[in-house]
């Protein structure tokens, strides 16, 4: 059997084994590990994994997301388990809808993939309160994540609950299910030193507790260098090639390869170049890694009030290979798929032996996996930022800066991480104004109804306390909102009124934002930010002789989710609160007075988010730009099945619900800084979360995902609670579509990895050449036009290609003939097809196309 053919046969066999293991409930698998890899039924495995968090999408989206993950070359889906959504009230559990963990795991298994279940139960994840339920905070004597009896009791109870659920459904690999790994705790090593003497006993207890649950599969701890045996310690980060497990008996595993970064309200949008992410993946496998997980592979959406932070945005897109809306992000998805294929071509050699390293020069390294049986795979790395030529086994190889070439036979390059063969796609939002989707032909204003949220105290469950209360301890996070209200009497002869009653209201708050009303009118607002949630603000006010009301609405924007003792981070107006005279500087300190408190909004208690109340007001004159207003309208779903978003431009800040389901907090007025972004980000060199940013000077998020499964053809109800004032008639609906397909491939690119078959080439004498490929993203689409085609020295990027100094006159006609009318096409990048417009120059082919 030819070596390359043998590799393909073994790869196919391995994939079939994954499918059999994941899908069958009758064949139990023995999952262990050694120093090289996880061992499944006696065979070491090289595994590619990706994170998809089940509550950040919908059950209707799961099958497509998982299939796209499989098509992208993933073997494993990794997810956290989110304690606070499953047990919002102690001993009252919820596993319905987006919270249906068992259904999610079974959906993964049905696709023939495996599962890594990260139970935690602390998850971080930019998730509200790090995944812990708020009631945990109120257990007497509790201290989180340390050697504390009450905490350990609750942690063990929930962990055992999840393990038992999985066992009852026979979902562990030891029972024939898909779960091959579980995680206990999460990144504790990052904060352990802050817990002092309690840290080590706690982590030892957590390991013993987890293994005692007898799952039949290994447990891991990420970022835990002292993880006790048999727990595998794993790496999280942008790069983990230099990571070494804490025992020679444990495999090198990467639980979080950050595919991008999270978005914060008030921040620019982070992204990570595909070439850098591919470089990090290849370097990890080059240097002995055998399981790598993308965090995230699909980020999804922080529906409802699930965001952490504080100030984490509603979008959790994460620049992941599958975007927030469930569409593949190209070229990232496709390039990583090709990387996975190249690595799988090396799998037999990778699992058969340990790596041998050789320096090829400054910042150059060769890694070889070679056995006496004739298996050989090599990785050639250039971790410098300049291109280099390296000699390996007597042959010369061109290595672009910050790249890895993968040689499955130690001779021929199957892929270089800096040379992308995958096509790019330009996504766009196609807008429909609200008037196009409302359910009646009347005027837009007439389709809106509204209810005013009262300023200050309006509920019967208000209470009075002296002084200023911390918010989280008061509300238990039952709502974002807490009213602080008082009346203060200022006699007419009070020196405070010497300057015509002008003064300043000074407020200090732990965060996260506040709105101040004086005599029932909005006097001012202030918000913290992701760098500092605390607020100190001076608001000009006009006071009256006699009684004045001061109503302060404090609000949270997701609770802290990371850091030692993060659960002790407070919020709310803890003071001081003072009135300062503009005339004479006299001060009235209100901090210790009797304040009246109200948890939440009256509209929340009245069930306004579901839109069914009889109190909605409909009049021709719609109030706009008014604070504390509930709005409602009905609309028809946009036509087709493209993903749907609402653009909240024109609104201020609040929360929105569609058919009673919260699509999250909206805040389009929170704008990213005007500087710090770059039109093109150089993938070369170490990546960090602030290296590659876009959308500076624009709203951090103006478009908010509405899952299709939440919509009916017509009669959908949209409800918004607007805090500061906006114009609801300005919002619009949009569908996420693909505007263009592009590809740019040079003569120096390796041929597509699917074509890699050097032994066949040597027999036939035919050499595979670089090839440009395009494929329409949706079923029943065909390539309808070629917007641009140039063979020679084209410049620019997808959407802005231009001809260079030399360009073949045949290019457009050749590409049109190959592609128009087809769902997909492949065009060889060579002078045979296009002629040679500039001899002695390395040429490339750039194409932009559209599908209909």
Q: Is 26 exposed, middle or buried (0-12, 13-18, 19+ CB in 10 A)?
A: exposed
Phi and psi torsions of 127, nearest 5°: -105, 145
Task: For the chain, state the CA radius of gyration.
Answer: 30
Cα atoms in the 13 Å half-sphere on the side-chain side of 295: 22
Between β-strands 732-746 and 661-666, what pairing exists: parallel, antiparallel or unpaired? unpaired
Is 400 within 8 Å of 278 (Cβ atoms)? no
Helices (H), 531-690: 602-605
User: What element of type H or E holds 336?
Assistant: helix 332-345
Q: Decide: helix, strand or coil at residue 306.
A: coil
Alpha carbon distance 756, 294 (integer Å): 25
Helices (H), 139-268: 149-168, 199-212
Between β-strands 76-80 and 114-120, what pairing exists: parallel, antiparallel or unpaired? parallel
DSSP letters, 37-102, are SEEETTEEE-EEEEEE-GGGS-TTTHHHHHHHHHHTT-SEEEEE--HHHH-SBTTB----GGG-HH
Tokens of 374: 């004739």
Alpha carbon distance 482, 439 (integer Å): 36
Alpha carbon distance 428, 575 (integer Å): 46
Is 335 within 8 Å of 313 (Cβ atoms)? no
Of the candidates 649, 666, 657, the one whose C-alpha atom is nearest the C-alpha of residue 704 is 666
Is 845 within 8 Å of 791 (Cβ atoms)? yes
DSSP character at residue 193: G
Q: Is 10 exposed, middle or buried (0-12, 13-18, 19+ CB in 10 A)?
A: middle
848 is catalytic: no
List Cβ neighbours of 106 (8 Å cut-off, separation of 6 or more).
169, 171
The one catalytic residue among 126, 185, 256, 775: 256
Tokens of 15: 């994939």
187 is catalytic: yes
The one catalytic residue among 78, 187, 324, 453: 187
Q: Decide: helix, strand or coil at residue 440.
A: coil
Alpha carbon distance 45, 218 (integer Å): 14
Tokens of 615: 């109190």
Is 502 within 8 Å of 540 (Cβ atoms)? yes
Q: Is the peptide bond before 362 cis (omega within 30 degrees of 0)?
A: no
List Cβ neighbours of 386 (8 Å cut-off, separation of 6 or more).
401
Alpha carbon distance 97, 90 (integer Å): 20
How many CB atoms are closer than 10 A to CB 583? 14
Of the candidates 347, 296, 316, 265, the one whose C-alpha atom is nearest the C-alpha of residue 10 is 347
Is 74 within 8 Å of 113 (Cβ atoms)? yes
Alpha carbon distance 219, 207 (integer Å): 8
Is 82 within 8 Å of 94 (Cβ atoms)? no
State how far Cα 53 lies from the chain centre.
9
Output the CA torsion 752→756→758→764 (10° steps). -80
- Return the axis-axis angle of helices 149-168 and 199-212, rounded to nearest 10°: 20
Count each helix (H run) and each strand (E run) in the chain, helices first: 15, 43
User: What element of type H or E holds 233?
Assistant: strand 232-237
Active site amino acids: 187, 256
């Amino acid at each position: 059997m030819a070596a390359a053919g043998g590799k393909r046969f073994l790869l196919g066999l391995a994939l079939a084994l994954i499918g059999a293991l994941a899908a069958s409930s009758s064949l139990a698998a023995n999952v262990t590990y050694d120093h090289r890899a996880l061992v499944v039924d006696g065979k070491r495995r090289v595994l590619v994994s990706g994170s998809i968090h089940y509550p950040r999408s919908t059950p209707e989206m799961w099958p497509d997301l998982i299939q796209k993950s499989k098509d992208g070359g993933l073997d494993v889906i990794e997810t956290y388990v989110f304690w606070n959504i499953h047990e919002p009230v102690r001993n009252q559990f919820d596993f319905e809808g987006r919270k249906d963990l068992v259904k999610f795991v079974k959906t993964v298994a049905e696709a023939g993939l495996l599962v890594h279940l990260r139970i935690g139960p602390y998850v971080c994840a930019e998730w509200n309160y790090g995944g812990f339920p708020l009631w945990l905070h109120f257990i007497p004597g509790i201290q989180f994540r340390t050697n504390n009896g009450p905490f350990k009791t609750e942690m063990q109870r929930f962990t055992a609950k999840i393990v038992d659920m999985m066992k009852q459904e026979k979902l562990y690999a030891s029972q024939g299910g898909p779960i091959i790994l579980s995680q206990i705790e999460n990144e504790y090593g990052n904060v352990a030193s802050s817990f002092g003497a309690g840290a080590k006993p706690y982590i030892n207890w957590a390991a013993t507790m987890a293994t005692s649950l007898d799952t039949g599969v290994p447990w891991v701890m990420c970022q835990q260098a002292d993880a006790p045996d048999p727990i595998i310690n794993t790496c999280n980060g942008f790069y983990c090639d230099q990571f070494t497990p804490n025992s020679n008996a444990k495999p090198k595993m990467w639980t979080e390869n950050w595919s991008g970064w999270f978005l914060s309200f008030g921040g620019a949008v982070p992204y990570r170049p595909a070439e850098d992410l591919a470089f990090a993946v290849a370097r990890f496998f080059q240097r002995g890694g055998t399981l790598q997980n993308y965090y995230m592979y699909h980020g999804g959406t922080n529906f409802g009030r699930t965001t952490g932070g504080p100030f984490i945005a509603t979008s959790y897109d994460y620049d992941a290979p599958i975007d927030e809306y469930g569409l593949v992000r190209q070229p990232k998805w496709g390039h990583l798929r090709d990387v996975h294929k190249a690595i799988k071509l090396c799998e037999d050699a990778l699992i058969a032996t340990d790596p041998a390293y050789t320096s090829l020069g400054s910042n150059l390294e060769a890694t070889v996996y070679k056995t006496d049986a004739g298996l050989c795979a090599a990785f050639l790395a250039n971790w410098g930022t300049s291109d280099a030529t390296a000699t390996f086994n007597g042959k010369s190889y061109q290595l672009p800066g910050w790249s890895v070439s993968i040689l499955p036979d130690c001779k021929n390059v199957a892929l270089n991480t800096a040379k992308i063969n995958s096509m790019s796609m330009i996504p766009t939002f196609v807008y429909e104004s609200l008037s196009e989707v409302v359910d009646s032909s009347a005027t837009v204003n007439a389709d809106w109804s509204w209810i005013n949220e009262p300023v200050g105290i309006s509920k019967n469950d208000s209470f009075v306390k002296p002084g200023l209360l911390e918010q989280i301890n008061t509300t238990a996070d039952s709502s974002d909102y807490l009213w602080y209200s008082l009346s203060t009497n200022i006699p007419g002869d009070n020196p405070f009124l010497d300057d015509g009653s002008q003064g300043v209201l000074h407020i200090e708050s732990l965060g996260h934002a506040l709105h101040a009303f004086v005599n029932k009118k909005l006097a001012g607002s202030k918000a913290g930010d992701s760098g500092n949630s605390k607020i100190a603000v001076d608001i000009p006010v006009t006071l009256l002789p006699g009684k004045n009301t001061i109503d302060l609405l404090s609000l949270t924007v997701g609770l802290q989710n990371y850091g030692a003792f993060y659960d002790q981070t407070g919020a709310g107006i803890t003071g001081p609160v003072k009135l300062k005279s503009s005339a004479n500087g006299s001060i009235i300190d209100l901090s210790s007075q009797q304040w009246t408190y109200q948890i939440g909004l009256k509209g929340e208690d009245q069930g306004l988010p579901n839109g069914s109340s009889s109190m909605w007001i409909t009049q021709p004159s719609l109030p706009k730009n008014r604070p504390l207003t509930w709005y409602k309208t009905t609309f028809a779903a946009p036509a087709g099945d493209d993903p749907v978003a609402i653009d909240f431009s024109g609104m201020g800040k609040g929360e929105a619900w569609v058919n009673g389901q919260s699509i999250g907090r909206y805040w389009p007025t929170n704008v990213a800084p005007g500087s710090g972004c770059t039109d093109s980000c150089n993938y070369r060199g170490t990546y960090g979360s602030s290296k590659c940013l876009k959308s500076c000077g624009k709203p951090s998020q103006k478009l908010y995902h509405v899952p299709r499964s939440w919509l009916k053809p017509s009669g959908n109800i949209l409800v918004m609670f607007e805090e500061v004032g906006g114009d609801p008639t300005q919002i619009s609906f949009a569908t996420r579509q693909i505007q263009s397909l592009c590809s740019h491939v040079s003569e120096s690119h390796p041929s597509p990895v699917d074509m890699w078959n050097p032994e066949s080439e040597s027999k036939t004498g035919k050499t595979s050449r670089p090839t440009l490929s395009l494929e329409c993203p949706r079923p029943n689409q065909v390539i309808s036009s070629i917007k641009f085609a140039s063979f020679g020295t084209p410049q620019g990027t997808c959407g802005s290609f231009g001809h260079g100094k030399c360009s073949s006159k045949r290019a457009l006609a050749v590409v049109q003939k190959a592609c128009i009318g087809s769902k997909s096409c492949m065009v060889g990048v060579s002078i045979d097809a296009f002629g040679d417009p500039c001899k002695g120059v390395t040429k490339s082919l750039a194409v932009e196309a559209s599908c209909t």
